[in-house]
Amino acid sequence: MYDVIIIGAGVSGSAAARELSRYNVKVCVLEKSEDVCCGTSKANSGIVHAGYDAAPGSLMAKLNVQGNRMMGQLSKELEFPFQRKGSLVVCRSKEELPVLMRLKEQGEENGVEGLEILNPEQALALEPNLTEQVEAALYAPTAGIVCPFGLNIALAENACENGVEFHFDTEVESIEKVNRGFLLKTDSGDYRARYVVNAAGVYADVFHNMVSSRKLHITPRKGEYFLLDKGAGDHVSRTIFALPGKLGKGVLVTPTVHGNLLVGPTAADIENKEGTNTTGDGLAAISEKAGQNVRNLPLKKVITSFAGLRAHEDGHDFIIEEAEDAPGFIDCAGIESPGLTSAPAVGLRIAEILREKMRLQQKPDFQGQRKGILNPELFSMEERNRLIQEQPAYGHIICRCEMISEGEILDAIHRPLGARSLDGVKRRTRAGMGRCQAGFCSPRTMEILARELGVSMEEITKAGGGSGLIVGTNKDVL
Amino acid sequence: MEKKELICINCPMGCPLTVETEGNEVLSVTGNTCPRGESYARKEVTNPTRIVTTTVRVREGREKMVSVKTETDIPKGKIFECVKQLKDVELMAPVHIGDVILENAAGTGVNVVATKAVL
Amino acid sequence: MEKYDIVIIGGGPAGLAAAVAARKAGTKSILILERDRELGGILNQCIHNGFGLHTFQEELTGPEYAARFEAQVLELGIEYRLNTMVMDISREKLITAMNRERGMYQIQAGAIVLAMGCRERSRGALNIPGYRPAGIYSAGTAQRLVNMEGYMPGRKVVILGSGDIGLIMARRMTLEGAEVKVVAELMPYSGGLKRNIVQCLDDYGIPLKLSHTVTDIKGKERVEGITLAAVDERGKPIPGTEEDYECDTLLLSVGLIPENELSGQMGVELNSVTSGPVVNESLETSVDGVFACGNVLHVHDLVDFVSEEAAMAGKNAAHYVKDYVEKCTEKSSGYGKVISIQPTGGVRYTVPSFIRPENMVDQLTIRFRVGSVYKKCYVSVYIGEERIIHKKRPVMAPGEMEEIKLEKSRLIGCRDYETVRIQIEEA
C-alpha cells in the first residue's frame, strides 16, 4: 500500500515525484516503459517558453511563466543543461503585425518580462540568418532551451534519491476505486494507493475515464522534427518561432543545449497513441516550412528525424486537479506545450494539492541537490587528467562523434535509475546521438551494458521490451 | 552453340565477358582484358568455384572470433556444406595466419585456413 | 612535451602505408595514433577476399592485407599507440590525444598525415519515414558484429543501398544463416563493384532492385517489415508501386563520408563534393605540412589504391620534414606557378585539386569519379584548347573510381595556362 502512486515517469510525473519527495510520504511511480522519459517528454522541442502563447487566465499561462522562472535555479540544483538564450517570433507581413502586437500584450498580461518588438534591422542584427522578409519580431529574453532528457532524468533521479520508488516495465491496465483508495492492476501485479496522480501523457484520458464519469478526451498531436549536425548549431543563436497558428506554434528553428540545430515540429492530429513514426508528408512539410523564417538552412546536415506526440486535450488547457467525482484521483492531463517549461510548476502544484489533502510534513533529510553526469568537455586538461588518473575509463572514448568516454557511460549505468538500454545510455550521456547515429559506438556500448549489468548480449535492447539488438550467434541456425 | 554473358570477378575491373559453348566445351571467350578473365570464364560455365570466407570461434584469445578462408576456390555447390562444417569448430588461442582450421573442407580437398592472428 | 617529426592520425590501411613510406623516405621519428585496440582499421572486419591484387599480386582477405602492413611497421620499428583518441589538432600541428594510461596529453608534430578514414551515412541522414525500432543497422556496424564478435543482428534482412559493404554483407549474412530478401538501390545503377553483384547477390539468388527505396519502416520495438517503392528520375517514390517485405532487420549501405571533423576544426579547407580536404600534387592540405590520404581524403573502392595514395602522402610528409629542417625557410615562395584541375563534363571531382608542376613527380596519378553511368566514352584532359589526353573507357560508373596519369613534362611546358580541364566525352 502506497500513499501515492504516480502513473507515468515522464517529466510531469517525475516533477511531481520530486516535489512529493520533500515530504514524509510513500510514493511509487509506475512506468510502462523501461526507463524514465520515454513518451512525450523525450520527443519535443526542448524549449523553455517565455509564456506569451497561452491565453491569459489559463492554467497553461500561469504555469508556463512560473516554470520558466523556476528553471534557472532548478538547473543549478539538479545539474541539467539549461540556457536562457531568448527567442524571436518572426512576422513577415504588415497585415499580420497586429497579431504580433497582440502576442506581446498577451505575454505582458501573463506576466512575461522584457518583451520587445524589434524592427527588421534590430532583428537581423540579433539573428543575421533571419529571413530578409522580416517585418518585425517579438523578442523574449526570458525564453531558453533545456535538455528534455536531462530535466526529466534529473527530476526522477533526485526523487529516487529521496525515497520515491520507480517501477519500470509496469503498465497499468485498470484502476478501481476501493475502500480508502485505489486498486491498480498492472501487467506485473496489483498495486494499492490512497492517492493516484495521473501523469500518463497521451493516455491520461484513458486512466481518468476509468474512475470518472466526466470524460476527458486527449488527441495525440504528432510533431515531426529534423535534428541537424553540430556543424549547423550556430546557424541561429536563439529560438526562432513563426507566428502561431491554429494548431500551435508552427515550425521553429532552434539551437539545442548540445550545440545541434533542431527544426520542427509539424502538427497533425492522429488516432494512434503509439504513432511516433515519422511520415513522408511530415518530413516534406518541415523541409518546406523551415526556410520561411530562417535563410540558408543547411538541411543537408540532418543527422536524424523523429516524431513526438503532444497530449492535446479538447479544452486546450492543463488539467491539474482532483477529479470531481473521484476523490483522491489527481489528474495531470492535457500536458502539451508548454508542458516541459511548466514541469517544475506542474510538480509543485500537484505536491501542493496532495500536501493540503494529506497534511504532509516536510522531511528533514530531503536532499535537493543532485550530481549530474560529468561533462569532461568543460574540464581543463589538468582536471581531466586528475579524473582519468582516478578513473581510467574517462580516458577511453566510446562515442567518437560526441566524444563520450566509457567513464560517463559507466556513470549513466550505475547511478540511481541507471540506464539499461542503448537509448537509456544515449539520453543520459549523448553517446550515439551524434552524426554517425550510433553506427560506431553501439556495439561497444552494448558490450559495456552487457558486462556491467551481467547479462548476455542477446538481452541488451535498444529501448527495453522487444527491442533486442542481437538475435543469435553466427551459424546458429545452420 | 550457346552464348553466355558474364562479369569477370577476378579483379575490380569487372570485365564483361562473352563465352561461346558447345555442350560442355568452351569455344571462345571474348571481352576479357587479361588471361585470368579467360580462365575465369572457362571455369564459370563448366565448374564455377569461389573462395569462401567466414569466421570461427576462438577461446581464451584477445578476440572471440577468427576469420578464415578456403585456401583456394571450391565448387560453388559446396559453399554451404563447407560453412556448416565450421559451425561447431572451436579453436584455442593462439591462432596464426595460415593455420589449418579444417582439412579437406566438404570433401573438396581444400583446407580452410585462418586469415588473422588471434593471440 | 613530446615531439615527433611525423604524426599519423589513424592506424588503418592509409596510416600504415603512409608510416612505412615515410620511414623508407628517411624519417626516423614517426608516431601512429590509433583509436581502436589494434592496427589495421576497417580491414579487420573485412574478412572477405579481393584485397591486394594490385599491391601484392595475390588475392588476400582484409585481415591478411592489414597484417602485411603491420608486419612492415613492426619490422621498421615505427612507434604506434592503440586505444588513443585524437581530440584536437591545432594549425600549429599541436595534437591533443587521450587514452586510459596517459590521460590527455599533447604532441608537437613536424608534419601530420591525416588518415582517419570515413564513416557510414546513417538512416537519419536519409529521412526515411517510419518508426525507429531496433534492427536498423548500417552495413558496417552489422559487419563488425558478425565478423568480429560473432553476433547475428537479425534473421530476415532487407538491405537498402548497393554500396560494396552492403553487397558483401548480403553474402555474409546469408552464409551465417540469415535470409536476405532483397537489396534496394535508389539510383538506376549499383553503387558497388560489378563483381560484388555477381558473387554476393547473383550467387545466392538475392534480387537487386534498382531505382527503389524504403518508404516506410514498421515495428515499434524491433523492425517488423519495410515498404519498398520504385522511384522516378528525381528519386521520388512513385505511388502505387509499394511492396511490403516482412523482415526483422534493415541494413543500410548508402554511402560513406570522410571523417573530417578534426581537419575542419584545424581549418583545413574541405571539398564540398568529396567532403575531404582540398589537396595539391603532394597530397598536402591547405594547412602547411598537413597531408591527407585514404578514405579521409576521398572514399575509395579499393584498399590497394589507398595504400598507393597513402605511400605518396607519407613520402611527401618525409620530404616536407627534411626540407623544413634543412632550410627552415618559408616554402610557399619557391614553388612557382599553381595549376588547378577543373572537373567538368561529368567529372565530379579530382584528387588532387591543384598542382605545382615544379613539385610534381614525373607521372602523377589523378583520381576522380563520374556523376552518372557512361558507356563507350573518353576521358579527356585539356590545357587551354589543346587536348593532351584522350583515353577510351568502355564503361564508367559513379561507383567506380577512375584515374589518369599526368606527365610532369607536359605541365612544365605549358606556362600560359592556369587550369587543366578534365571531362568525359561521348565517343
Residue A254 sits in a domain whose CATH number is 3.30.9.10
Cα–Cα distance, C388 to C391 (Å, whole number): 10
Q: Do C134 and A231 touch (CB under 8 A)?
A: no
**The amino acid at A181:** G
Q: Do A436 and C122 touch (CB under 8 A)?
A: yes
Q: In Å, how far is C100's CA from the nearest CA of chain A? A: 4
Which residues does B58 contact at the CB level (< 8 Å), separation at least 6? B64, B65, B66, B90, B91, B92, B93, B95, B118
Does any domain span residue A267? yes
Chain C residues lying within 8 Å of A277, measured CB to CB: 129-131, 216-217
Q: Tell which residue, A315, A185, A142, A294, has the closest CA to residue A232.
A: A294
Cα–Cα distance, A230 to B69 (Å, whole number): 43
Q: Mark whether C413 and C427 lie in a shared domain.
A: yes
Q: Mark whether A120 and A162 lie in a shared domain.
A: no
Q: Do C195 and B11 touch (CB under 8 A)?
A: yes
DSSP code of C290? Answer: E
- Count of CA atoms in the C-beta half-sphere (13 A) of A402: 30
Q: Mark whether C424 and C389 lie in a shared domain.
A: yes
Q: Is A46 left (phi over 0), alpha (psi -120 to 50) or beta?
A: left
Q: Mark whether C193 and C309 lie in a shared domain.
A: no
CATH code for the domain of C103: 3.50.50.60
What is the arithmetic mean of pLDDT over B56-78? 96
Q: Mark whether A392 and A443 lie in a shared domain.
A: yes
Q: Mark whether A26 and A160 lie in a shared domain.
A: yes
User: ipTM above 0.90?
Assistant: yes
Q: Which three cell numbers stand for residue C329?
A: 625557410
- Dump pLDDT digits (tens) for A436-450: 999 999 999 999 999
Chain C residues lying within 8 Å of A403, measured CB to CB: 85, 87
CATH code for the domain of A8: 3.50.50.60
Q: Mark whether A114 and A230 lie in a shared domain.
A: yes
What pLDDT does C334 receive? Answer: 45
Nearest to A437 among C35, C85, C122 (CB): C122
Q: Mark whether C207 and C229 lie in a shared domain.
A: yes
What pLDDT does C326 receive? Answer: 60
By C-alpha distance, the chain C residue nearest B80 is C175
Question: In percent, how much of chain A has pLDDT > 90?
Answer: 97
Last residue of a domain, one of C334, C351, C376: C334
Q: How many degrees, rounded to 5, is the angle at CA C227 between CA C225 and CA C228?
A: 135
Parent domain of A162: 2-41+149-218+315-358
Chain A residues lying within 8 Å of B55, measured CB to CB: 474
Cα–Cα distance, A336 to A267 (Å, whole number): 12
Most C-contacting residue of A287, A380, A440, A447 (CB-CB within 10 A), to test interface: A440
Q: In Å, how far is B49's CA from the nearest CA of chain A? A: 21
Q: Is A445 left (phi over 0), alpha (psi -120 to 50) or beta?
A: alpha
Burial class (CB in 10 A: 0-12, 13-18, 19+), A390: exposed
What is the arithmetic mean of pLDDT over A368-389? 95
Chain B residues lying within 8 Å of C146, measured CB to CB: 55
What pLDDT does C384 receive? Answer: 86
In three-state form (DSSP H/G/I as H, E/B as E, the rest C), the secondary structure along C366-384 is: EEEEECCCEEEEEEEEEEC
Q: Do C177 and A283 touch (CB under 8 A)?
A: no
Burial class (CB in 10 A: 0-12, 13-18, 19+), C173: buried
Q: Mark whether C127 and C243 lie in a shared domain.
A: yes
Q: Mark whether C112 and C172 lie in a shared domain.
A: no
**The amino acid at A92:** R
Point out the residues of A that are catalytic.
49
Beta bridge partners of C426: C377
Q: Do A475 and B80 touch (CB under 8 A)?
A: no
Beta bridge partners of C257: C119
Chains that touch C (3 or more CB pairs under 8 A): A, B
Q: Which three cell numbers stand for residue B60?
A: 581464451
B80 touching C (Cβ < 8 Å): yes
Q: Mark whether C250 and C126 lie in a shared domain.
A: yes
Q: Mark whether C370 and C284 lie in a shared domain.
A: no
Q: For chains A and B, what is the number of CB pairs under 8 angstroms?
A: 12
Does any domain span residue A130? yes
Q: Mark whether A331 and A214 lie in a shared domain.
A: yes
Does any domain span residue A352? yes
Q: Do C221 and A465 touch (CB under 8 A)?
A: yes
- Dump pLDDT digits (tens) for A36-72: 999 999 999 999 999 999 999 999 999 999 999 999 9
Q: If DSSP codes are grouped into helix, strand and coil, which group holds residue C244?
A: strand
Cα–Cα distance, A290 to A10 (Å, whole number): 28
φ, ψ of residue A296 to 5 degrees: the values are: 50, 40
Q: Mark whether A236 and A342 lie in a shared domain.
A: no
Q: Do B12 and C400 touch (CB under 8 A)?
A: yes
Chains that touch B (3 or more CB pairs under 8 A): A, C
Does any domain span residue A20? yes
- Dump pLDDT digits (tens) for A339-360: 999 999 999 999 999 999 999 9
Q: Which helix (H) or strand (E) holds C424?
A: strand C419-426
- Count of CA atoms in the C-beta half-sphere (13 A) of C149: 19
Q: Do C127 and A302 touch (CB under 8 A)?
A: yes
Q: Mark whether C330 and C350 lie in a shared domain.
A: no
CATH code for the domain of C417: 2.60.40
- Count of CA atoms in the C-beta half-sphere (13 A) of A205: 14
Q: Mark whether C142 and C244 lie in a shared domain.
A: yes
Does any domain span residue A236? yes
Q: Residue B46's CB: how many other CB atoms inside 10 A?
A: 12
Q: Mark whether C24 and C71 lie in a shared domain.
A: yes
Does any domain span residue A87? yes
CATH code for the domain of A405: 1.10.10
What pLDDT does C330 receive? Answer: 45
Q: Which three cell numbers stand for residue A357?
A: 489533502
C425 touching B (Cβ < 8 Å): no
Last residue of a domain, one of C222, C254, C286: C254
Q: What is the pTM of this model?
A: 0.95
Q: Mark whether A320 and A306 lie in a shared domain.
A: no
Distance between start and end Cα atoms, chain B? 55
Q: How far is CA C261 from the centre of its chain?
A: 15
DSSP code of A458? Answer: G
Q: Mark whether A236 and A135 lie in a shared domain.
A: yes
Q: If DSSP codes are grouped into helix, strand and coil, which group holds residue A119?
A: coil
Q: Mark whether C330 and C357 lie in a shared domain.
A: no
φ, ψ of residue A47 to 5 degrees: the values are: -100, 140
Q: Mark whether A419 and A385 lie in a shared domain.
A: yes
Q: Mark whether A87 and A227 lie in a shared domain.
A: yes
What pLDDT does C329 receive? Answer: 45
DSSP code of A436? Answer: T
Structural contact between residues A336 and A221, judged by C-beta atoms closer than 8 angstroms: yes
Q: Do C150 and B64 touch (CB under 8 A)?
A: yes
Most C-contacting residue of A474, A477, A478 (CB-CB within 10 A), to test interface: A474
A478 touching B (Cβ < 8 Å): yes
Parent domain of C378: 336-427
What pLDDT does C332 receive? Answer: 47
DSSP code of A28? Answer: E
Last residue of a domain, one of C204, C219, C254: C254
Q: For chains A and C, what is the number of CB pairs under 8 angstroms?
A: 141
The DSSP line for C160-208 is E---HHHHHHHHHHHHTT-EEEEEEESSSS-SS-HHHIIIIIGGGT--E
Chain B residues lying within 8 Å of C150, measured CB to CB: 55, 57, 64-65
What is the arithmetic mean of pLDDT over A302-317? 96
Q: In Å, how far is A312's CA from the nearest CA of chain C? A: 21
Q: In Å, how far is C53's CA from the nearest CA of chain B? A: 7
Structural contact between residues C397 and C370, judged by C-beta atoms closer than 8 angstroms: yes
Does any domain span residue A201? yes
Q: Tell which residue, A121, A127, A447, has the closest CA to residue A261.
A: A127
Cα–Cα distance, C340 to C188 (Å, whole number): 32
Q: Which helix (H) or strand (E) holds A103?
A: helix A97-110
Does any domain span residue A240? yes
The DSSP line for chain B is -EEEEEE--SSTT--EEEEEEETTEEEEEES-SSHHHHHHHHHHHHS-EE--EEEEEEESSSSSEEEEEESS-EEGGGHHHHHHHTTT-EEES-B-TT-EEESSGGGSSPPEEE-S-B-
Structural contact between residues C112 and C24, judged by C-beta atoms closer than 8 angstroms: no
Please report, for residues A19, A378, A428, A475, the alpha-carbon distance to residue A413 in angstroms, rounded to integers and kept in the order given: 25, 21, 9, 32
Cα–Cα distance, C121 to C128 (Å, whole number): 13
φ, ψ of residue A148 to 5 degrees: the values are: -60, -40
Q: Mark whether A208 and A231 lie in a shared domain.
A: no
By C-alpha distance, the chain B residue nearest C145 is B65
Q: How many domains does chain A have?
A: 3
Residue by residue, pLDDT tens for chain C (427 residues) are 999 999 999 999 999 999 999 999 999 999 999 999 999 999 999 999 999 999 999 999 999 999 999 999 999 999 999 999 999 999 999 999 999 999 999 999 999 999 999 999 998 888 899 999 999 999 999 999 999 999 999 999 999 999 999 999 999 999 999 999 999 999 999 988 889 999 999 999 999 999 999 999 999 999 999 999 999 999 999 999 999 999 999 999 999 999 999 999 999 999 999 999 999 999 999 999 999 999 999 999 999 999 999 999 999 999 999 987 665 444 444 456 789 999 998 999 999 999 998 889 999 999 999 999 999 999 999 998 899 999 999 889 888 899 999 999 888 877 677 899 999 998 7
Structural contact between residues C256 and C121, judged by C-beta atoms closer than 8 angstroms: yes
Burial class (CB in 10 A: 0-12, 13-18, 19+), A264: buried
Beta bridge partners of C386: C383
Q: In Å, how far is C47's CA from the nearest CA of chain A? A: 14
Structural domains of chain B, ranges and CATH numbers in brackets: 2-46 (no CATH), 53-114 (3.10.530.10)
Between positions 448 and 477 of A, the ones with CB within 8 A of B are 474-475
What pLDDT does C325 receive? Answer: 60
Q: Mark whether A272 and A421 lie in a shared domain.
A: no
Structural contact between residues A179 and A120, judged by C-beta atoms closer than 8 angstroms: no
Q: Do A302 and C125 touch (CB under 8 A)?
A: yes
Q: How many domains does chain C have?
A: 3
Cα–Cα distance, A22 to A77 (Å, whole number): 14
What pLDDT does A124 receive? Answer: 98
Go through B84-110 and write b for each residue having 16 or more CB atoms within 10 A of its CB, e for each that does not.
ebbbeeebeeebebebebbeebbebeb
Assign B1 a pLDDT band (cuts: 50, 70, 90): confident
